[in-house]
Structures are given as C-alpha cells and as structure tokens.
Amino acid sequence: MAGNNIIKIKSYYFLTIFLMLALALGTLTPAALAADYLTATVAVDGNRVSAAGTTTPDTDVTLLVIRTTDENKSYTDQTRSDETGAFSFCFQMEEGTYQATFTSNGLTVQREFTVKNTSAGTVTVRVEGAEENLLPETKVDILAGQTTLLEAVTKALDESGTPYEMQNGMIYSIRGEEGWQWLLNGKGGMALPSTLLQDGDEIVLVDDMLWDPILTRLTLSDEQVSVGDTFTVTLEKVVEKSASPASGQEIYFNNESKITDAQGKVEFTATAEGNYYVTAQTKGNLVRPVPASIRVGKTSIIPDRNIRVKIRIEGYKKTIFNDTVTFDPESYKSSDGKYRITDPDGEEHKFSRPTVLLATIVAWNEGHIKDNSIGYNDNYVARMAGEEEFDFKDEHPTCGWLVRVNDVLINQGAGVWPIEDGDTVEWYYGDLDSYFGEIEVSPTSLDPGGTIKVKVTGRSNKEKDFGRYGERRPMADATVYVDGREYTTDENGEAQITMNTPGTYEVYAIKLDKNSKNGNYYFPLMSRTEKIEVKVTGTASSSIVLPEEIEGETFAELQKLLNKAGIMELPKERIKVEAGKAVVHPQVSDIEKAIAQIDQLVQEIKEKNLLEEEDVQWLKTKIRLVVPQCNCEEMETIIDTEAAKLLAQIDSLEVMSEIASFEVTAQTFGKEAKGQEIILFARRVDSTELSEKERAAVPQNSSVTELEARLGGNTVSNFNEPMLVGIPYADNSEAGDQIAAFMLNQDGTVEPVGGLYDEDSEMVKFITNHFSRYFAKQSVKQFADLSQVSWAKDAVQNLAGKGIIRGKSDSLFDPTASITRAEFCALMTRMLKYEASSDTVMPFKDVAKGIWYYDAVLAAYEKGLVSGKSAEAFDPSGAITRQEMAKIIGKVLESRRYRPGEEKQLDAFKDKDSIASWAKDAAAVVAREGIITGTPEGNFEPNRHASRAETAVMLFRLYKLIMK
C-alpha cells in the first residue's frame, strides 16, 4: 500500500479495512501544510474515501463534506487526535465531486476530491502464441472504469501460473515468446496498457509479427450428439459486431482434420463416446479461436443446479447465522446475464456470477437478518445485523467484517469470489491483528464427573495470510463457555473442564479485548468459535434435598441450600501431620465432588422452576473445604495445578481450618497462577517471638497469626484481587460488630484492616491484598458529636474502629456534613482494599497527582466503580448525591455477582419516578438488599446530598453484606 493522495490496494477487491490500516500507519503523505497544527489529505479508492492528518495532540477534529454541484451536506463526523496529533476518517460516498472541510483549534483546511462511478466486473484474457495457445480464455475480476488493461493481463498470468517477463513497464515475453500486441474487443492499435476496462471486455494477446490480426470464432451445430451422428463446425472472422466465413482454415476433432469450405464450415462424424474439444489452427492474419466443446454419448440426466453452502456469521455480539442454505443460482439470473437478489432491507444487489455475497444474502433472507449494508458496488459488507465496521475504531482502526471460504481468507471482494456447491463460508468480525477462532473438544460424550479437554487455536488475519489459511497459534487467555460458566485457557490454549451434571451442552470459546468496548460489547481478539455439542449421560447425586415449599424469600433460601451443598469435609488421609505442622493436600476429586453436588442442585432448581431462568445464573457457587481439627501450630494447604484449574468452574473456594481460612477465586493471583500450584500457609505466632513493643500492642486474649501465600515456591507479595481471610478469635465477649482485625508491623505498630466476627467459625473475617501477621481485638472509635444521629452511632463508631471511616478530628465526626465524591471514593477503596495498577492512567484533569485522594479515585476508576462528570472532569470536591452513591454501591454488588434489581423493588419509594434512569437498576439492588431504606416519609430522595452519617450507615450495611 502506498500514499500520495491515492491508495492502491494490491488486489482491487482486497477488504477495504486495509485502507484504515494505511492511515493508522501513516503511509499517506500530507499534501501540504495548510496552517500551523492542522494538515489534511484525502484518498479515494472506488467509492471508499479516507482522510488523515495532524493537529495538536488530544484535540477534537470536525469534518464536513459538501457536494460541490448542489451544496448538499453529504457527510459530517468528529474525531479526536491521538497522543501524537494524528487523526483519520473513513467513509463511503456516491459518485460526484466534493469539498472536505477540516476544523481543529479554530483552524480550517479544505480539500477537494472526486468519486468515480466504479463497479465490480469480469473480463476475459487469453494469449495466442505463434504456434499454440499459451493461456486459455481466463476470467478476471476487475473494478470497471478503474482496472487497467495491463493490470488485468498480469493478474490472469499470475493466477494461472503462466511465466512472463516485464521490461520497461510492458510485458516483454510470455512462456519465452517475445513481442506482443493487444486486442481489446477485437480491436488493436488503440488498446494501450493503461486503457481502463469495463465489465465484459475481451482481451487477446497475439504475436506482434501478426499483421492486422482478426479474431475468429468457432460454433457447433450441436453441443451433444450420439455415436454415429454428424455435426457441423463453423469458423467465422469477427470484426467488431459483424461476422463472415473463414474459409480454407484447418479444423481438428478427435485426431481428424478438415478444411473449411467457402461458408467456413466442415462436417464431422462422432465415432466414440466421450468429451471432446474442436480446435482450429488458423493461417494468415487470423487469430486462433477459443476451442469449442462437444459431448458424444447418451443424453445425460439434467444435473441438479442447486448450490448448498454452509454459512456461519459470528458477530461481536452473538452468532448471527449458522446453517446450510440451498438455492438455485439460475433463479436469480436476469435477461442481461446478471444475478440479482433483494436483501431483507429491500435493497437489490447485482453480481456477474454466483458469489459468496449472493449466498450470504440468501442466508440473510432465510434468517430474516436486517440492518445490513453492502458497499463498494455490491462487493463489500460494511454492516451486518447492525454490527458495523469501525465500531471499535479507537483501539482497532481496521476493524470490520472478514470472510473465509473453505478455510481460506479470501483476497478478493465477496461480491466477485465465486461460490460452488459444498462450499463453507465463515464471516466474522475482527481486524488485521485478530484471529479466526477454532476449537477442539474431546470427548463429546461422557459420564457425569468426566472431564473434557478443550483446545482453542486461532488463524491470523495478517496481510500476508490473505488468499491462504493463515498462521495458526494457540489462544492463551481465551474464554471457554459451557452452559453459562466461564473457563480460561492456559498458555497452550487448553482447558480441562469437569462435566458433573447430565445434559447436552454447547461448548465454544472467544477472546475479548476488555480495553475496547462498544456499548456493552467488547472487541473480539479471536472470533467466537463454532459451538460443539457435548452430551453428559448417566446420573449424578446430591446430598441436598430441595424442600417442597420454601419459606421466606426464594432466592435467598436457595442460595443457603447451595452454600450447604458446597461444603466438603476433607478426609483425614488428605492431611499429614509432623512436628506440629499439618500439610493439607485436597485432591481434584474432592473439589469435583462438591461441584457435582452444586451442579445437581442447580439442575433440580431449573427442572422444578423454583426460580426464573435469568435468576438461576446469579446463584453463587462457593465450595468450602473443611480441614478436620489436628491441634497444629502450622498449616500448609497445597492446591496443585489440576485442582487450581477447577477454580474457573466456581465463584470461590474457601479452605477452612482451625488456624486460618482462605477464600480464593480464579482471579486472586492473576495470570501468574496459571500452571503453578498454590500454597496457603498459616502459623500461630508464639508470644516469645514478639518484641516487647509487639507484645504490648496485642491484647492478652488475642493471638497473632502469620499468613503467607506462594506460587510455585515463590512468595506472593501482592494479590491480583483482594482475598477474604479469617483468623481465630475465641473471646468475642458478645462484642459482635465491634471486633476488628489488625496488622502487626515489625516495629510494633498496628494498623486496623477492617473485619467482622463470624460466629459459626469463631473467626474474624477481613479483606486484604497482601499477607502479614494479624490479630483481632475489640475496637470502637468514640466521637462526641453523634448524639443527634443516634441511628448512625453504631455504624460510625464500628467503621471508625475498623479503620474504614475517619472523623474530621480525633473527637469530632461532623455527621450532618455532606460527603464529597473524592471522600466517597476513598471510603470505598479503603473498605474493599482496592489499589490501582501501576500502568493505569488517570483520565481526569481535575485530579492532580500527589493530592490525598488521587490513588483512591484512580483505583475506583480502574475497578469500574466511578466515572467522571465528563471524559476529563471528575469533580472531586462536589458533594455526592444519594443516587450517585447507589450507583457505585450497585457496581460493587454487581462485581460480586449479586443479581440485578427489578424496578418493582422501588415501589416502596413515593418519589421513585425522580430517580435518574441511569441509577434505577442500582437503586433497585441496594433497596432490595436493605442498604438504602429511604427516609421516614417514604422517599428515596435521589438528588439530595448524602450526609456523613448516612454514608456510614450505608457502608456498614454493605460491608456486612459482602463479608458474609
């Protein structure tokens, strides 16, 4: 690809998404510097227009296109330059002359461009040497009015593998014969290599020593005869549109030759069955004709003209079509020889022959697939089922629809690529850097508790792969879907999945770019694979029996039963005790058994219709492995690599022992955990090991527990996702919510880390993003100004004692004051132990680095809890409203897989109609979970600024909910 105002694509039918790549790579050379900080250039390829330029970095650029003949505003768009100042546009225009006006930074530049009327077409090319035919008549696809004579001829020679040599931009020799003249539609002399071709043109190359060459044509009286029948052959000279007999020329049929009479005719008798060619070896200035075919034998049965094509269309939203279409292409053929078809949107399309796009429109019609757009003169799909090219243009400037035919990434337009019976067509949304997804699943039939092996690979879409199968590579970090559950492939593109519940399942995979989003959908780095059916036959049993009737809220009661189904007490043989240290090694079968019990219970819930289908998916699947008491001072739990893979099948795995509890998920340790065993270590720290200052910091009724995590032998300093852990605390003194956990530093200082007491386990549970030494104690922070908000006193004092909320001073809380957006971010991230990644960039210009709330806002933004008032402004000092708080709390619950709310859950509020549409779903969730209960008057008051006391109550309710 090259620039200088006109982009040439190696194949005229090459997917025009390559045009955007050229722009992104900067291959277009700016025409001129129009003004400081603003340049622009326009390139036209068919009816595809691309524009690129430079301005100041991160600046809005507006484009207005006006047709010069009638001042029609034909196109307008706006984009933003990147960090280098580069910007680009890409769009389609009808035939005409236009003026493009670019505006940025108050500066304006204009460019004129013309779109010519071009359309896809087909021409024929053949080469007649001095003694023999060097290239049979070959069809070549072109762009009418744009493809040159030389380009069509070289393309025919290249595609047929015919050797030739170029000199000085001309064809010098073909198969060793030198010197050629060109005939276009029977005429010579005026046909230059640069002549632009039209649909249906006929090109013949003949020896340049042939003076005033004249084309000839062979016709037969019959195309099929029986043995013993006689047929007539006629040879004619063709000059423009008139024909005359070619007498005295030698005609060949089945090793027999005859000379044409004055009428240009000869007769032959068929002597044997078979398929034959009739040829002529002309003399003088007559050009050898195209051979004519004849069949000798019995009349054949009329063949089945139907074409059967397997078509699969994978969009970034869903599978749009996956079925076989059967059609007779001749039923679409009109009197002009073109194939015409109307799509579901009522648009008619025209093709020179049966093509991939013709078959695709047949699929659209059968599947009632609307909202499509075909451009480039019926040769290019820009939109399918509402999914349009450049929907992800910011991160993927070449994104759009690609197509493979019989596993080959086609290098011509879908409107000219021929279709044949038995072909397989696979459309998918991607770009030059994405992959076409493929999946292997084995076995596809198994018993409950068996394991399937999934292997996911992808074929590349690089430019060099067009016209080929594409380089194949394993797809690491692809998501495999089985019955709504998600699993992740390892570095080899593989995943092993245990199938516990009888049924028939669809297994497929996709890999998404979570940094590139359009609406609610992510860009596919690898397209969705074909869906493979897996059957699990047999029976599975669960020790949990569903009651005939459920008292109380159905979802909550079923969740309790599911939690119970996930409890598995480890057999004693899984524990080895030596010198006061216990090594616990759960087996894969232990986890699989618990998963099977959960899956069976879920299946029964579905079969008995105890929940709506959309609610079943929100039931949490947690496994608790209970380690029998062994009176040890140290405990090491080993989750080997095979057991760790099962984490993808559940929400969380808790290992519960007398020394500590650990709750891990598939995301706790991130990518580093793949292929490595996980070791969770807990140790009771003897008081003799502590310094005098450390002993003074720990109450006598508390014990210190040291926690450690290792991956493959290496200590983990920070987790990818905060972990919920528990440490013993036997003397609760009925303090309940007042108990908190503290981290004991080596210098004897202590830091509160939150925590809630769990009566069932007699442990204090808390969230942490790294391990250290911890202890628990009663901790309440007293404030002198809470008498007027007695309803909030416990929440304020308990949260302050846990180090989550702070006062305005050591003795004053200021409960009636409003809370700012920055303060609320600090509270949420402190409570949830969220920290931003080192590579996260702060998008808000009003949050300066170094200010006290910078890290909190950045972490809340990275975790998806908050957005700005605009793309660049967060308004950190602005008072937060109750509905803004509800929205953020709703996102916290959503991240923990709490089921969505329903609008009916807002009926308790008299002013529910005043809640903003963007906050209603979240408000319904927090209302259902009892986090926001409304005012005494029965109002939600969505736009009122929340007070510090209200905030403390809401946060304490949220904290107790997520710590369960």
Q: What is the DSSP string of 42-77?
A: EEEETTEEEEEEE-SSS-EEEEEEEETTTTEEEEEE
CA distance 293 to 275: 7
Tell me the range of 18-22, 116-120, 793-797 where mean pLDDT is highest: 793-797
Residue 234 has which token pair?
């006629």
> From residue 472, how far is each of 461, 469, 597, 716 by CA, in Å?
10, 8, 39, 35
SS3 label, residue 336: coil
Give first-to-last CA distance, the chain, whole Å.
60
Single-letter residue type at 251: I
Single-letter residue type at 573: E
- Confirm if 756 and 804 have CB atoms less than 8 A apart: no
- Confirm if 38 and 107 have CB atoms less than 8 A apart: yes
- Confirm if 924 and 930 have CB atoms less than 8 A apart: no
- The least confident of 482-491, 640-649, 793-802 is 482-491
What DSSP line would sit under 165-217, residue for residue? EEETTEEEEETTEE-EEEEETTB-SS--TTPBP-TT-EEEEEETTSSS-BEEE
Supply the pLDDT for residue 483: 73
95 contact partners, CB below 8 Å, separation of at least 6? 47, 115, 116, 117
Q: Tens digits of per-residue pLDDT, 49-58?
A: 889 999 988 8
Supply the pLDDT for residue 2: 33
Q: How does residue 551 score in pLDDT terms, banded at 50, 70 and 90?
A: low
Check pLDDT > 60 for residue 14: no
Per-residue DSSP letter, 5: T
Give the side-chain half-sphere CA count within 13 A for 138.
22
Supply the pLDDT for residue 572: 83
The pTM (predicted TM-score) of the whole model is: 0.54
- The least confident of 542-556, 623-637, 847-861, 870-884 is 542-556
Per-residue DSSP letter, 352: S
Q: Tens digits of per-residue pLDDT, 690-722?
A: 998 999 899 988 899 999 999 988 999 899 999
State the SS3 of 283-333: CCCECCCCCEEEEECCCCCCCCCCEEEEEEEECCCCEEEEEEEEECHHHHE
Check pLDDT > 60 for residue 24: no
Check pLDDT > 50 for residue 6: no
Check pLDDT > 90 for residue 484: no
Closest alpha carbon to 365 in 330, 341, 383 = 341
CA distance 367 to 510: 23
Check pLDDT > 50 for residue 670: yes
% of the chain with per-residue pLDDT over 70: 93
Supply the pLDDT for residue 855: 95
Supply the pLDDT for residue 733: 54
Q: How does residue 30 score in pLDDT terms, banded at 50, 70 and 90?
A: very low
Supply the pLDDT for residue 11: 35
Q: Looking at the DSSP assignment, which residues form a beta bridge with residue 297?
A: none
Average pLDDT over residues 6-18: 35
Q: Which residue matches tokens 């524009």?
A: 51
Strands 307-314 and 424-430: parallel
Check pLDDT > 70 for residue 8: no
Q: How does residue 153 score in pLDDT terms, banded at 50, 70 and 90?
A: very high
Q: How does residue 7 score in pLDDT terms, banded at 50, 70 and 90?
A: very low
Check pLDDT > 50 for residue 18: no
Q: How does residue 613 score in pLDDT terms, banded at 50, 70 and 90?
A: confident
- Confirm if 821 and 946 have CB atoms less than 8 A apart: no
CA distance 298 to 273: 8
Residues counted in the chain: 964
Average pLDDT over residues 344-359: 92
Check pLDDT > 50 for residue 33: no
Check pLDDT > 50 for residue 9: no
% of the chain with per-residue pLDDT over 90: 54
CA distance 350 to 352: 7
Supply the pLDDT for residue 67: 86
CA distance 721 to 667: 6
CA distance 403 to 360: 11
Check pLDDT > 70 for residue 17: no
Q: Tens digits of per-residue pLDDT, 399-439?
A: 999 999 999 998 878 988 899 998 999 999 999 999 999 99
116 vs 148: which has the higher pLDDT: 148
607 contact partners, CB below 8 Å, separation of at least 6? none
Q: How buried is residue 99: exposed, middle or buried, by Cβ count under 10 Å (0-12/13-18/19+)? A: middle
Strands 581-584 and 634-639: parallel
Q: Which residue matches tokens 């960039």?
A: 841
What DSSP line would sit under 708-759, residue for residue? EEEETTEEPSS-SS-EEEEEE----TT-GGGEEEEEE-TTS-EEE---EEET
SS3 label, residue 412: coil
CA distance 199 to 377: 13
Check pLDDT > 90 for residue 952: yes
Residue 16 has which token pair?
């025009």
Check pLDDT > 60 for residue 32: no
Q: What are phi and psi of 556, to 5 degrees?
A: -65, -40
Residue 607 has which token pair?
């079969």
Q: How does residue 517 score in pLDDT terms, banded at 50, 70 and 90?
A: very high
Check pLDDT > 60 for residue 381: yes
Q: Tens digits of per-residue pLDDT, 86-123?
A: 988 878 787 789 999 999 988 899 999 988 766 667 88
Mean pLDDT score of the chain, rounded to an integer? 87
Q: Looking at the DSSP assignment, which residues form a beta bridge with residue 625?
A: 568, 655
Q: How does residue 734 score in pLDDT terms, banded at 50, 70 and 90?
A: low
877 contact partners, CB below 8 Å, separation of at least 6? 820, 821, 822
Q: How does residue 770 score in pLDDT terms, banded at 50, 70 and 90?
A: very high
Give the ranges where 783-820 is alpha helix by DSSP (H): 790-801
Supply the pLDDT for residue 579: 85
Check pLDDT > 90 for residue 513: yes
Give the side-chain half-sphere CA count within 13 A for 390.
15
Q: What are phi and psi of 159, to 5 degrees?
A: -70, -30
Per-residue DSSP letter, 818: B
Q: Tens digits of per-residue pLDDT, 216-273?
A: 999 999 988 988 899 999 999 998 778 899 999 999 998 899 999 999 999 999 988 8
Q: How does residue 19 score in pLDDT terms, banded at 50, 70 and 90?
A: very low
Q: How does residue 545 score in pLDDT terms, banded at 50, 70 and 90?
A: low
Q: Which residues of 820-839 are buried (b: 16+ CB within 10 A; e: fewer)?
A: bbbbbbbbbbbbbbbbbeee
- Confirm if 294 and 220 have CB atoms less than 8 A apart: yes
200 vs 919: which has the higher pLDDT: 919
CA distance 945 to 824: 12
Supply the pLDDT for residue 549: 65
Which own/partner pairs from 471-479 qualify as long-range (CB within 8 Å, at least 24 positions apart)? 472/438, 473/435, 475/435, 475/437, 475/509, 475/511, 475/526, 477/511, 477/671, 478/437, 478/509, 478/510, 478/511, 478/526, 479/509, 479/510, 479/511, 479/512
Q: How buried is residue 366: exposed, middle or buried, by Cβ count under 10 Å (0-12/13-18/19+)? A: middle
Q: Which residues of 168-188 are buried (b: 16+ CB within 10 A; e: fewer)?
A: eeebeebeebeebbbbbbbeb
491 contact partners, CB below 8 Å, separation of at least 6? 474, 476, 674, 675
